[in-house]
A and B are shown apart, each in its own frame.
Chain A
């Protein structure tokens, strides 16, 4: 009886091995799935060989399959997540209306957690924006997405529109709620307070007096009305830097970071990195003045003073321009903990160096030097986020050995110990830039549940080696031949595409 059992066990094992061998062999004969770079990764995961452990990292090229023939430089990405239903997301880039020069500039909409994206031409800007950020506001409970956008339309003049739609799948253009000229780089965040939506738009407003251009537009009624607050209190060289970044916490604490430009010689801005705070959501006559610097008693804590920031509006870091990358993030459950990151001119060998500092006392004092692992050479597009469990994450793109490498670094102890996930490593010398910015003046990172989600832009060559955490293409692509096609088998030139990603938050 025992001998019989051993015989059948051996037979079953041999049969199983034969089946596995046959599957592997047949699998090797089947062409890889067109348009999906995860084909081999899934096989590898199934047999546990190529990748050390099954990964939940998700990277998706946003270009839909029905636009497989496009070759635009879809740079400068942004992302909004509907927190009540994180399946709904909106992304954007410098993507033109695909069919009309007079049609509206589009956004990308996902309703399945980022697996698939649809291009919907609903922004109030004709053809293509020249700046766009946005947030999905949760307070008014619009199930199909309450999107607030800050867009720049660039023609004879540069016009800011602050606009809204309450259904991101609708074909109706967003309603413009506020509009004005002579501003730069709107950056939108949203916060729900008692079923009302608070909208915060950081921007560089040249209409402000005395060169105090760093500004936060605040709406406490879902964008119906906005009030502008200059958050600069010191003498500037005539203006502040382009980036003004708000960050919001659930307890109605609002921070904003900006570059206080003190001198500018055309190539170098001598700048303070300034953080302001408001403890009541930007309400009241003294908004954003809760944080004062001990050195001069003026509103706005000087995290670092008079650093040199190179300003170049031509290709300088690879094919990318540099001059104003800045990010701020607050712990969603402990608004006393806040991180700020920026780039300046580091050592002589570096073109552009990233730094991250941290405060644990609501911005009153800051780490005196960069946090461990956060002084990063020749890098840009810094984006910070903090998850519900307090884990901080840093997204950046680094030019290294002729490649743009996109990292997400996580840490639960202020970057003393880190987990670095490389999302992409792509050739930096191709495709040739069509305009600037090449990858973007920013990318973006958010936390939702146990995920960090974000967007970055990269060379879209369908090469698995370029995406070490795996990738999925919606557009037609042949990963064996490493070529894009138009859906009918005709080759399509490589270009810059926006990529969505999700990375699990470390425990």
Chain B
């Protein structure tokens, strides 16, 4: 996401105590949740009510056209600039009038010759529209808000993991689902081509100490689109691993030596973090 410095002002402005704030969040009082939920945030001036900014958007009483004054947050793929006209589908269009300036917290809707979004929340800016904050303190405040969101996501990841370990990949080997597992072994382009990474555990941040300080992490080695978002692992790769018991491959145990052991997976981007994140993970575990 691209985050404009102007956004910092908007965030601080929204987080300031009531006397300093001219408007109120309409949709939610949970500022962090709203920022996290929004894929596109911008300040703009309402130019038309009951209208749309490009032909392919269905016009209704809820759609308004907003001229963008500044883009605060958007994915890199989205082209959106100051001066562009955006269609916003409002929850309550009567809340705004033509000429009103506001910050719009939105999710993407239609992408064509222009952008159409759906409102998640908005806040009317005071006359003049600029956020009454100093840039430095605004940046600090935004970073705090952003850090809160990121920390919460990480805490959720920790909470949902069976194990959180600092480890190194000792070896990677191909693994074939045994017939005894009863798992389907069909031939499709989406076959995962399972591999196992043998983890040498350096420290256990969550969970009980594994036998011989080793764990087995199973991951798809194939390049198929179905598995593109699963993290892949290579020998000697180190980091923080957020492990869940394998519920994907069809055989959740393995024999790393002579005895049976559970097998784990990292199924989402972010289930592995580089060593530089170790201290942060440890500090969140203490909270």
Contacts and interface: CB of A to CB of B under 8 A. Distances in A.
Interface of A: 64-72, 75-76, 94, 97-100, 103, 109, 111, 116-121, 128, 130, 152, 154, 156, 158, 169-171, 182, 184-185, 204, 206, 213, 239, 242, 264, 311, 313-314, 321, 323-324, 433-437, 441, 474, 476, 486-488
Most buried by B among A98, A434, A486: A98
Given A109-B56, A436-B225, A487-B79, A313 B193 contact: yes
B143 interface: no
Contacts of A70: 77
Contact of A116 (B39, B75, B112, B223): B112
A506 B164 CA distance: 65
A435 B228 contact: yes
Nearest to A169: B58
B31 interface: no
Contacts of B222: 313, 436
B118 interface: yes
Interface residues of B, number: 42
Interface of B: 39-40, 55-56, 58, 74-81, 89, 107-115, 118, 184, 186-191, 193, 222-228, 247-248, 267
B113 A184 contact: no
Contacts of A314: 223
Contacts of B80: 66
Most buried by A among B55, B112, B190: B112
B191 to A, nearest CB: 7
Contacts of A313: 189, 191, 193, 222-224
Contacts of B267: 156
Nearest to A435: B228
Cβ-closest 4 pairs across A and B: A487-B79, A154-B226, A118-B112, A99-B39
Contacts of A128: 225
A381 to B, nearest CB: 14
Contacts of A474: 113
A171 to B, nearest CB: 5
B187 A120 contact: no
Given A321-B189, A436-B224, A436-B225, A116 B56 contact: yes
19 contacts: A66-B111, A67-B79, A69-B78, A69-B79, A71-B77, A99-B40, A103-B39, A103-B108, A117-B112, A119-B110, A130-B225, A169-B58, A182-B186, A185-B189, A239-B187, A313-B193, A435-B225, A436-B225, A437-B225
Contacts of A437: 189, 225
Nearest to B82: A488
A154 B227 contact: yes
A120 B108 contact: no
Contacts of B228: 434-435
A93 to B, nearest CB: 11
A246 B25 CA distance: 53
A178 B85 CA distance: 40
Contacts of B89: 171
Contacts of A156: 247-248, 267
B98 to A, nearest CB: 24
A65 B191 CA distance: 35
A435 B220 CA distance: 13
Given A116-B112, A156-B247, A156-B248, A65 B79 contact: yes
A206 B248 contact: no
Given A66-B113, A66-B115, A156-B247, A121 B108 contact: yes
Given A311-B187, A437-B189, A67 B225 contact: no
Given A98-B75, A169-B56, A64 B190 contact: no
Contacts of A111: 55-56
A158 B192 CA distance: 11
